[in-house]
Amino acid sequence: MNFNFAGISKSDFLFLVKQIVAIIFLVLCFESSYAQGVNEWTVRPGESIKEALGDSVIYKYPRFTQGIVYFRYNSISHALLDLNLYTGEMEFITPEGDTLAIANPETVKYITIQSDTFYFDKVYIELLHGNSEAKLGQIQTIKLSDIKREGGYGQMLSTAAVNTSNSYYSNNQTYKLTEKTQLALHKQTVFFIGDSFNHFLPYNKKNVYKMFNTKESAVNSFVKENKIQFDKRDDLVKLVDFIGKI
């Protein structure tokens, strides 16, 4: 029996079908990888954030590590420490084995864990580079991208408004999601500029001029001549080094 479909032979038709299936498969694979990247996670209904992400994602270090907390009133404290990227809190293990967050973080001058240093200025900021005049810092946090609730036919639909992740965290406990709710989370890195007094602001041109207003003319010339981009770490290091020399 001869096969003919609009003048196409059976072998050509089967070849065409295979090509279409292959293209669809590749598109689906691409969409899947794009939707959930290396630093993106989905918390499904019934899961807690801790279950979905795991400690290796939630915490900066793979395990609680010996560190020193230096307080503003010249006292220090030694403890096993780790930074919770989801809550933004510096946590420690008590002698009884409980995990707690440092209370009254505004009394903290800085914290050292291994070779890393953290300052507290509304948030914990990790020092990346610095000198006596200027500092480059960063915060890494796990942020909420989207909230989805199950709609018709079992589809997960985005809600009209995205609430803050704090809605799901209270009193050192992460609660399971309810009402068939799904969260999309991602890791975010924000660079900060700091001064000699360890005050920090998000690293952008406006805040650099604000923090170093007496050096604005020289800084502005340096930014233009060197085409400094404020989202590139290497450029920000160069600018911090320059501010330290003028």
What would the pLDDT profile of 12-60 be if each residue is shown by its tens digit? 656 565 666 555 544 444 443 334 456 889 888 888 888 889 999 999 9
In 3D, which of 56, 127, 59 has the Cα closest to residue 93? Answer: 59
Examine the pLDDT at 245 and tell me if it is beyond 70.
yes
Name the nearest CA neighbour of 138 among 123, 125, 129, 120: 125
Largest separation between any pair of C-alpha atoms in the chain: 94
User: Tens digits of per-residue pLDDT, 89-134?
Assistant: 999 999 999 999 999 999 999 999 999 999 999 999 999 999 999 9
Tokens of 244: 């330290």
The 3-state DSSP class for residue 240 equals helix
What pLDDT sits at residue 147? 83
Record the tokens describing residue 88, joined without a space: 């933004």
- pLDDT band at residue 237, thresholds of 50, 70 and 90? very high
Minimal CA–CA distance to 147: which of 131, 127, 167, 129? 167
Q: 96 exposed, middle or buried (CB, 10 Å; 0-12, 13-18, 19+)?
A: exposed
Q: Which two tokens stand for residue 51?
A: 């279950």
Checking 99-108 for CB contacts under 8 A at 24+ apart, the result is 99/64, 99/172, 100/172, 101/172, 102/69, 107/71, 107/72, 107/73, 108/69, 108/70, 108/71, 108/72
Convert the pLDDT of each residue in 167-212 to its tens digit: 444 334 444 455 578 888 999 999 999 999 999 999 999 999 999 9
The residue-averaged pLDDT of 215-241 equals 96
Which value, in Å, is the radius of gyration of the alpha carbons in the chain? 25
**Which residue, among 134, 136, 138, 137, has the nearest Cα to 212 in the 3D structure?**
134
Distances (CA, A) of 58 to 62, 120, 172, 198: 10, 19, 14, 26
In whole angstroms, what separates CA 68 from the centre of its chain?
Answer: 24
pTM: 0.73
What integer pLDDT is reported at residue 180 of this predicted model? 72
- Mean pLDDT throughout 220-239? 96
The mean pLDDT value for 82-93 works out to: 96
* Domain ranges within the chain, ordered by starting residue: 4-35, 40-245
Q: Say what angle helices 216-225 and 233-245 make with each other, to 10 degrees.
A: 140
Cα separation of 229 and 135, whole Å? 17
